[in-house]
Amino acid sequence: KSTLKVSEGPTQNKGSAQIKAQPNKTLISVFSSIFVSLPNLLPFTTRHFSFSFSSQIGSRRLPHTPTQAPMRGIMSLRRAALARGHSEKWATCFRSFSTQGAATGTTPQPPPPPPPPEKTHFGGLKDEDRIFTNLYGLHDPFLKGAMKRGDWHRTKDLVIKGADWIVNEMKKSGLRGRGGAGFPSGLKWSFMPKVSDGRPSYLVVNADESEPGTCKDREIMRHDPHKLLEGCLIAGVGMRATAAYIYIRGEYVNERLNLEKARKEAYAAGLLGKNACGSGYDFDVHIHYGAGAYICGEETALLESLEGKQGKPRLKPPFPANAGLYGCPTTVTNVETVAVSPTILRRGPEWFASFGRKNNSGTKLFCVSGHVNKPCTVEEEMSIPLKELIERHCGGVRGGWDNLLAIIPGGSSVPLLPKNICDDVLMDYDALKAVQSGLGTAAVIVMDKSTDVVDAIARLSYFYKHESCGQCTPCREGTGWLWMIMERMKVGNAKLEEIDMLQELTKQIEGHTICALGDAAAWPVQGQSLREGSGSVQSGNCWRLLLRCLSGKIPYGKEEAMCSGVEWSEHGGGGGGCWMNFAPMRGIMSLQRAALARGHSEKWARCFRSFSTQGAATVWNFKVHQVWSPCIDKNISKIRMKEEEVNRCQIQEWYPKFKSVSIKTLIHELPEPFVEYLLDDSGPFLLPISITNEDALPNRVHNPHEEEDYQVSEGSGDESEQPSSSPPSFPKLELEIKESIKTLGGAIFPKLNWSAPKDASWISTTGTLRCTSFSEIALLFKSSDSLVHDLCHAYDSCSDKTSSRPRSFFLALRKWYPSFRPDMEFRCFVKGQHLIGISQREVTTFYPVLMEKKDDVRTLIHDFFTNKIRSRFDSENYTFDVYVTGDDRVKLMDFNPWAAFTLPLLFTWEELDQEIEVDMRIVESRREVRPGLKTAVPYDYFDTSPGSGWDQFLRNVGEEELTHQNKGA
């Protein structure tokens, strides 16, 4: 007789169920069906059910307590079944059971718990999880305060564990380089040789933080310098390095002072140097100051600079880990990467890896700037949503999130993202890569809808052009062309086909240079707002680009803009301009209707001939060959000048009359041979021979090895070639100029009859018009294109034109004042002998001091004009430039004709033709700054041969200039 009793739960006894088997085989079948599924149900069964089973065979009883040892009870079942002859059935039933627990009489361990659910929300880092606890300098940054915050705590124990342990822990943490590339740090450190070949190994910390928008490392160096120094020791041990070199940006004065003081404290306390921290490991730290070159942030260029050479990147291989600083194994790493390593080792790699998504571990410093309410540098968890980062720590976008236009998420070298992507994107390497951008240095630059994206990208293009080392042709030439085309788009002189040309140019730069500077220059131009470069333009922001290409300002009224849902902005304090930020199709069609109403039907028909009007989501293909370009001088052309009015503006004409209220000037008449020399472009560029041995160019360092490379081999036939021309010489003029320069204090800036060679200042050794010799003056004059106006086209706008050039040319040498302040120079516009406008002369910079002095300056200039100029200058219409000194005196700088070739600066000639009252305009904010063409590069430096693509581009530019000249005439 056999009985099965099932009790449901240890506390819930609802009775028992008895199954009586007439044949034993029925009972065993029931047992089999229950226990075959028992392995899968065991965790649940052992928790909620208890089994009691008794079996009696004859007079022998087999008692047991299955509630305490379920497996023993099961084995008792098996023994009972075997005794009854059901061995085969029970063998099948128990085949999958483990008998180890039953044999020992112990309860088996439950299976491991399931892994925790994958983390889906990131951000909101707690204070106790922050690595940088003095980021804002609220506490003592030096040794005493650092030790209170946990720095240098049992560092000896970490060092003693050895290099292999340190590197393995860093690999487990998942730390990736914080300098921009995002390479796994532990893996990079492991590349250093494990067995020395006799050469020392070095750690180089890249603190040359020069990328626009990036300011995270400076907070570490000035507020937590000991965290960096301790990290250098830990990283140095992991790499088996003997010394560390911290290459700090030269402009970081306070940062390097704090870092130097902290270094001395660490040496005095025995934390660095011989037997560092008492560990028996010798380790030195040296600090090297850079000189402001952005290219030295590239690791191999940095090594070149450390060695005392020009900061130019090296070819790879060999890589620095094999042949770096002084030819020794070297690892170059970022400040933040090194600084976090001690905390990771103390708290464990698992702690660090618990932050952020997989492959994007840890915490990160984010520096947020631009159009946010509270710009800041903050430590947050990796993979935090971009929107949450800005809303939580920066008080949101200025004007609200809906006012956002675009964001550069990782410093100036990564493509910008439009708002629709910024809504959901996460701030980590993989997420930003997926949207065709990058985390870079995590320098977040926010731009609201007041931003002119074309202008912003033009600024970045200029930065990379200026910072290119010139070693690679695609970068050296390409960055100049990028900037040049962006400048044309910014001012509205570009053609639609130049969008394609721009994108093609970026592809020729990207990936074709030794270092990544070329890529960094190309990526902002390839950003989301300009990404549709193959003949298509998409999204409202690109309509802004289109309108800039169509010459910027459209004759479009404010009321019409508001009716059509187009954003309106005022430009120049009076002239209206309509910029497209949203509703592109609705806005552009309203523009078309407005233009048709104003009589521009034919012009706009050419613009819109190929446009599709299917809705705002449509992609429009541009096949326009002729673009309407409003003539900026159409009103000024109504006023016809006479030669005598132009002649009055020559410096040799007006200076004697106004000498008492102008700056000191000496004037020389130029001999005709010198004028012919300036006009001659047929031969090579030759500077005059200086009889005083003064050279306008820097002295060349003698390098015999370089000379060997240029020696002509025998039999080449080159020795028979004679130069086609010889340099000219003007000894009498040179001696006169030398004496005048001496009289004026040793430094001057030159000027021809009307114009100064400002466009050629880039070629001088100082980058300005400052000259100290005749050779420097000749170099500026020979290199200038703007002087061509004085030499060949002085009277082109005159109604009584009899000649294109004056009878004589004069060189004015004006005293150079080192204290001269460009913010206090102004251009004044006189119409009908009335002062109608005053403009800030230097419009490429925002000067806050002018906001306070505006009214006072207006009064000073108006009084100066009334008392000193009006009755003494005979022309009715003209412009004049003045300088306001620190003691509120006004100095006359120049006169200019009332003509299209005179820059109206913050006005337009159309506005000036209508003004009747004095209006003074200054640059009132940084976003109103107008970058200039101070460092324009001559076309001679570029390949303009037929077939290059740029020959047609230059012809178009020439045709535009000729068209404007004809309209002005």
Query: Tell me, which fold does domain 127-353 have in CATH?
Result: Rossmann fold (3.40.50)
| pLDDT band per the 50, 70, 90 thresholds, residue 951 | low
Cα angle for residues 883, 885, 889 (degrees, 5° grid)? 90
- The mean pLDDT of 934-955, rounded to a whole number, is 48
At residue 496, does pLDDT exceed 60? Answer: yes
At residue 97, does pLDDT exceed 90? Answer: no
User: What pLDDT does residue 103 have?
Assistant: 41
Which tokens belong to 12?
């819930």
At residue 14, does pLDDT exceed 50? Answer: no
| pLDDT band per the 50, 70, 90 thresholds, residue 800 | confident
**Which residues are CB-contacts of 217 (< 8 A; sequence separation ≥ 6)?**
207, 209, 334, 335, 336
> What class is the 822-928 domain?
alpha beta
Task: Give the distance, in angstroms, between the CA of residue 432 and the centroid of all CA atoms in the same chain.
Answer: 15
- The mean pLDDT of 38-44, rounded to a whole number, is 42
Task: Give the distance, in angstroms, between the CA of residue 927 and the centroid of all CA atoms in the same chain.
Answer: 17
**Which residues are CB-contacts of 588 (< 8 A; sequence separation ≥ 6)?**
543, 580, 608, 611
- The mean pLDDT of 96-106, rounded to a whole number, is 44
pLDDT digits (tens, 9 = 90+) for 295-351: 998 999 999 999 999 889 998 888 898 889 999 999 999 999 999 999 999 999 999
Identify the residue whose tokens are 């034993």. 24
Can you say whether the dihedral through the CA atoms of 844, 848, 849, 853 is positive or negative? positive
CA-CA distance, 893 to 290, in Å (whole number)? 39
Q: Is 714 left (phi over 0), alpha (psi -120 to 50) or beta?
A: beta
Of 116-130, 212-226, 523-537, minimum mean pLDDT range: 523-537
* All structural domains of the chain with their residue ranges: 2-104, 127-353, 355-451, 536-621, 664-696+727-815, 822-928
DSSP result, 531-589: ---SSEE-SHHHHHHHHHHTTS-----HHHHHHHT--EEEETTTEEEE---S-HHHHHH
Highest mean pLDDT among 6-15, 64-73, 397-406: 397-406
CA-CA distance, 571 to 574, in Å (whole number)? 6
User: What pLDDT does residue 964 have?
Assistant: 54
CATH assignment, 355-451: 3.10.20.600
Q: Considering the chain, what percentage of its residues have pLDDT values greater than 70? A: 68
DSSP single-letter state for residue 841: S
Can you say whether the dihedral through the CA atoms of 608, 614, 618, 623 is positive or negative? negative
CA atoms within a 13 Å half-sphere pointing along the CA-CB vector of 97: 23
Q: What is the CA radius of gyration of the chain?
A: 39
- The mean pLDDT of 452-471, rounded to a whole number, is 88
User: What pLDDT does residue 371 have?
Assistant: 93
User: What pLDDT does residue 527 have?
Assistant: 59
- The mean pLDDT of 914-941, rounded to a whole number, is 63
Strand ordering across the sheet containing 825-831: 890-897, 878-884, 825-831, 834-840, 919-921
User: What pLDDT does residue 896 have?
Assistant: 92
At residue 176, does pLDDT exceed 70? Answer: yes
Provide the mean pLDDT of the chain: 75
At residue 708, does pLDDT exceed 50? Answer: no
| pLDDT band per the 50, 70, 90 thresholds, residue 180 | confident
How many residues would you count in the chain?
969
pLDDT digits (tens, 9 = 90+) for 406-453: 999 988 888 888 888 999 999 999 999 888 888 988 999 999 988 888
Which tokens belong to 331?
């690892």
At residue 402, does pLDDT exceed 50? Answer: yes
**Which residues are CB-contacts of 20 (< 8 A; sequence separation ≥ 6)?**
1, 3
CA-CA distance, 409 to 425, in Å (whole number)? 10
pLDDT digits (tens, 9 = 90+) for 247-297: 999 889 899 999 999 999 999 999 999 999 999 999 999 999 988 889 998
- The crossing angle, in degrees rounded to 10, of helices 453-467 and 473-491 is 150
User: What pLDDT does residue 773 have?
Assistant: 92
Instruction: Please give the single-letter amino acid code of residue 790.
Output: D
More confident residue, 862 or 3: 862
User: What pLDDT does residue 954 have?
Assistant: 55
User: What pLDDT does residue 506 have?
Assistant: 86
More confident residue, 908 or 62: 908
Which residue from 750, 419, 722 is spatially nearest to 582, judged by alpha carbons? 419
- The mean pLDDT of 521-534, rounded to a whole number, is 59
- The mean pLDDT of 754-780, rounded to a whole number, is 86
**Which residues are CB-contacts of 764 (< 8 A; sequence separation ≥ 6)?**
696, 770, 771, 776, 779, 780
Give the global pTM.
Answer: 0.50
Q: Considering the chain, what percentage of its residues have pLDDT values greater than 90? A: 35
Of 115-124, 230-239, 824-833, minimum mean pLDDT range: 115-124
Highest mean pLDDT among 253-267, 699-713, 773-787, 910-924: 253-267
More confident residue, 151 or 966: 151
User: What pLDDT does residue 20 have?
Assistant: 40
User: What pLDDT does residue 959 have?
Assistant: 63
pLDDT digits (tens, 9 = 90+) for 599-647: 333 333 333 333 333 232 222 222 222 222 333 344 444 556 788 889 9
Whether the upstream peptide bond of residue 317 has omega within 30° of 0, thus cis, is: yes
CA-CA distance, 186 to 165, in Å (whole number)? 11
CA-CA distance, 897 to 910, in Å (whole number)? 16
More confident residue, 2 or 357: 357
User: What pLDDT does residue 9 have?
Assistant: 41
Instruction: Please give the single-letter amino acid code of residue 292.
Output: G
- The mean pLDDT of 934-951, rounded to a whole number, is 46
User: What pLDDT does residue 250 have?
Assistant: 86
pLDDT digits (tens, 9 = 90+) for 566-582: 333 333 333 333 333 32
- The mean pLDDT of 887-908, rounded to a whole number, is 89
